[in-house]
Each structure stands twice: as C-alpha cells, then as structure tokens.
Amino acid sequence: MDLTPTPSQTVGPYLHLGLTDRGSIPRVAGDGTTGERLWLTFRVLDGEGVPVPDAMIELWQADSDGNYVQRDNGAAGVAFSGFGRLATAEDGSCTFETIRPGRVAGPGETLQAPHINVSILGRGILKRLSTRVYFAGEPANDADPILALVPENRRPTLFAQPDTARTNNWIFHVRLRGEGETVFFDV
Amino acid sequence: MSSSQIQSGRDNPKKSVVPFRRHEQGTQPDYLYPEYRATRLRSPSQPLIFLPHTLSEVTGPVFGHSSVQSKDRDLTLQHASAPLGERIIVRGRVMDGDGHPVSNSLIEIWQANAAGRYAHAKDDHPAPLDPNFTGTGRTLTDNDGFYSFVTIKPGAYPWRNHDNAWRPAHIHFSLFGPAFVTRLITQMYFPGDPLFAYDPILQSIPDERARQRLVSKFDLETTKPEWALGYRFDIVLRGHEATPFER
C-alpha cells in the first residue's frame, strides 16, 4: 500500500454543517482551571483587508504549567483540554475563553515562550494554515527559539495585543495575504 | 493513544519529541492556485517559515470521544424517513505514513444531498432540500483503523468559480490523528466522475497519483446485496521520521 499522506482539500463554505454546528468549542479552559484567564479574539482578513466570514479557527495549547493535556474534552470533570474550535462570524471574528499557557520545552535546551498553536481553515484555503499566537509584552518572547526563526520585521504579526477597552481581552489579526501578512509556519 | 495522556512540557526529555515526516513535493496542493479563484485573496504571498517540531507540534487534541454515538455513522437514520438517493456504504482504513493503523480517532464528514444541495443556510443552489437528510456524520476508527459510514451518494452541484463550473460529487472528511501536525481535512470523490478534469479544487494537487488517492474505489466486498453499493476510501496521515535523531 502506498503510504504517501492523503492530500488536503479546502474545507469549503459549508464547514459549519460538519464541524461547528455541533462541534464548536469556545471554552478551552472551563471553570476551575488554574491560570490567568483571558478572552482571545481572532479576526481573519483577506488580501484586500475584507473580513473572512466563513473561516474556522482551531487552537491547541498547553496548560498553565506548560503541559499538553491529551485527553477527551468531553469527559466528565475535564475542565481543560487545550483544544478550541470556532467558525468566524460575518465580521471575520471569533472569541475563545482560555488561560495563558505556560512555557513548553523547545529544541535543544531551550524553553519556548507562552504560545497557542493555531490552524486556519476556510473556503479558498486548500490546506490548513498554521500560525502561533504569542502575547505582546511577555518577557520570554525575546528568548523564544521559534520567534528567533522569524524575520524581526514580521514577528509582530504573531503577537496578540491586549484590548485596552476590556481587561483580560486580547486580539489577534490573521491577515491571510498582502500588507502585514501574518507569519504562517511550515509544520 | 490512551484517552488520558499528559505530556509534560518543562521537564519533558527532548529526545521524546519524534518529528513527523515532511510532505513530498507535489503531493499536496499549493496555497495559491489561481484557477480556484478564492485562493487569490486567501493564500499567503510570503514563504512559510520552516518550524522544527517541538512538543507543541507532536502532541494534539483528543476530541469527540465521549460525544460520538453509534447512530452518528448512519446519515440515513437521522430523520423520520429515509433520505432520497442512492444508498451507499463508505468504508476504509486510516493508516499513518509508517504503516500503523490510526485507531480510536475521530472522523467527521459532511456532504450535499442527492440533488446536490447542502442543508446550509448559505447554499442557494435551486435544487430541492431533503427534509430527511442533514448530511453530517461522525465516527471513531476502530482498533485496526477501520471506519464506515452509511449515507446516500451526493449530487454534483454548480458553483460560481468560473463559467459553467460544477463540483464533482464529493464527501468532506475531517481527521485529527495523534498530533497537531497530523490534522487533515480533505474530500472524497467517486470513481469515473467526468467532472474531475474541470475541477480546480481537485486539480490543485500537482501530482496525478496523489490526486487519485482522493478517488474512492467501488468495492464489491463492502457492497451489501439487495441494499447498498460500497465504496472504499483509505486515508493516510503523516508518519514519523525514522528516528528522533535523523533531522
């Protein structure tokens, strides 16, 4: 049997039917999860700056101790699964409730800065786009081994910014193409 | 994977991070494929940054296990009556690139009805909706990586990508596998569809052999006498690099 991985195809405009009508997960961290609670809003914009109303965002993150918890999000008593999934609304946005992740081991002896792994899917996106959310003002960012791989002038595209109007709210823009284009990773 | 597994970040010995193999040239679509019009404004123009795999990439969510019910795999039993259309069984095996079955892993599917219409508010194709068909299913692979769905064959439908554009009949598949990097969303097609050559979504995959991997095969073994035709659709998720130290 040929073990070349199966090719990706776009999720298409009707992704909600299969993925988010029943399978939305806006809360990555439920009540009682240890850590700094925050609300993280994504806004997805296309190459002309127009909001993308039919994208889907998935999150994968460590807990506040820097551990990835691979257990069923629906299991009784599980408050934190590290996984979130939402479709964007007409204005291209969606908001997750989570906690700031801890630091995770990086290549070699390094320690990564707190970050959230992100998948972006949508009509016109033939294979998943991957990026990372880091937090602006986090002192550990300066020594993060992955940020160090990104040209300095593009690094700011990976920083969520605090929403000055609302405490504990952060915003992250996904610019798919063109000016201020978000850094995407080849994972 | 067990249903409860905690991967320690800070004190995880780094040698336990086994990177996943990278895709071979041409076996996956590019982001920009101008013939598929929506990619023009939704594909990055800058090169992607190569990310060496860390714990963040080799771990992944365990999703859906407690919510999937056995009836979710039969799309013909979700309403008062049977949906219209040709009843089919879609069966296959999910393997990783190392040849191991991907067991106990969530698969989600969605599709148009037999007339080529999705039960979705934004689908305005003037074909009838079927009150007995929603077109969504999910299941877990078994211990050997096998799955099966019962559904009806979806219809082809027009889209506005270019003049007289029609999508070949397809079923959307979503899989997680064991890691962030094994996530796969794809589409399954039916053998011999005359629309393949005209479909920029399928044609966006450069390699002809790779494209063929998305075409299911008629399978007499899966076919149930006096009841439903069977199609076989095997899926391969990414496997690991040979050893943790080879990168």
Instruction: Indicate whether A183 belongs to any domain.
Output: no
Active-site option among B73, B91, B138, B167? B167
Chain B hits for A8, CB-CB cut-off 8 Å, are 28-29, 184-186
Candidates B53, B95, B120; nearest CB to A16: B120
Residue B240 among the catalytic residues: no
Residue A74 has a pLDDT of 64
Average pLDDT over residues A12-21: 97
Residue ranges of A 63-92 with Cβ closer than 8 A to chain B: 65-76, 81-83
Q: Cα B219 to chain center, whole Å?
A: 19
Q: Give domain status of residue A181, yes or no.
A: no
CATH number at residue A163: 2.60.130.10
ipTM attached to this prediction: 0.96
Q: Is A101 part of any domain?
A: yes
B94/chain A closest Cα distance in angstroms: 10
The answer to whether residue A187 sits within a structural domain is no
List all residues 6 or more positions away from B14 whose beta carbon is below 8 Å from its beta carbon.
Answer: A105, A107, A108, A109
A125: chain B residues, CB-CB within 8 Å: 31, 39, 42-43
pLDDT at B3 over 50: no
What domains can be seen in chain B, in order of their start residue? 21-237 (2.60.130.10)
Residues from chain A that touch B238, judged by Cβ atoms under 8 A, are: 5
Query: Of the candidates B96, B118, B39, which has an alpha carbon nearest to the alpha carbon of residue B236?
Result: B96
Helix, strand, coil: what percent of chain A each, to 5? 10, 35, 55
Answer whether residue A178 is part of any domain. Answer: no
Assess contact for B79 and B151: CB atoms under 8 A: no
Residue A4 lies in a domain: no
Percentage of chain B modeled with pLDDT above 90: 88
**Triad B143, B148, B150: Cα angle to 5°:** 155
Domain tally, chain A:
1
Contacts of A6 in chain B (CB under 8 A): 184, 186, 213-214, 235-237
pLDDT of B13 > 60? The answer is no
Q: How many helices (H) and strands (E) does chain B have?
A: 4, 13
pLDDT for residue A76 is more than 70:
no
Inter-chain CB proximity B39 and A83 less than 8 Å = no
Residue closest to B29 by CA, chosen among A39, A9, A108: A9
Q: Are A74 and A22 in contact (CB under 8 A)?
A: no
Reading the block at residue A144, the tokens are: 């993060």
Mean pLDDT of A77-106: 94
- Burial of A186 from C-beta contacts in 10 A (0-12 / 13-18 / 19+): exposed
- Let me know if B170 is a catalytic residue: yes
Q: Is the pLDDT of residue B1 over 90?
A: no
Q: What three-state secondary structure class fits B185?
A: strand
Of B176, B140, B67, B63, nearest in space to A73 by CA: B63
Structural domain harbouring A49: 16-171
Pairwise CA distance, residues A27 & A62, whole Å: 14
Is B235 in contact with B95 (CB distance < 8 Å)?
yes
Q: List the one residue out of B141, B240, B176, B221 whose CA is nearest residue A3.
A: B240
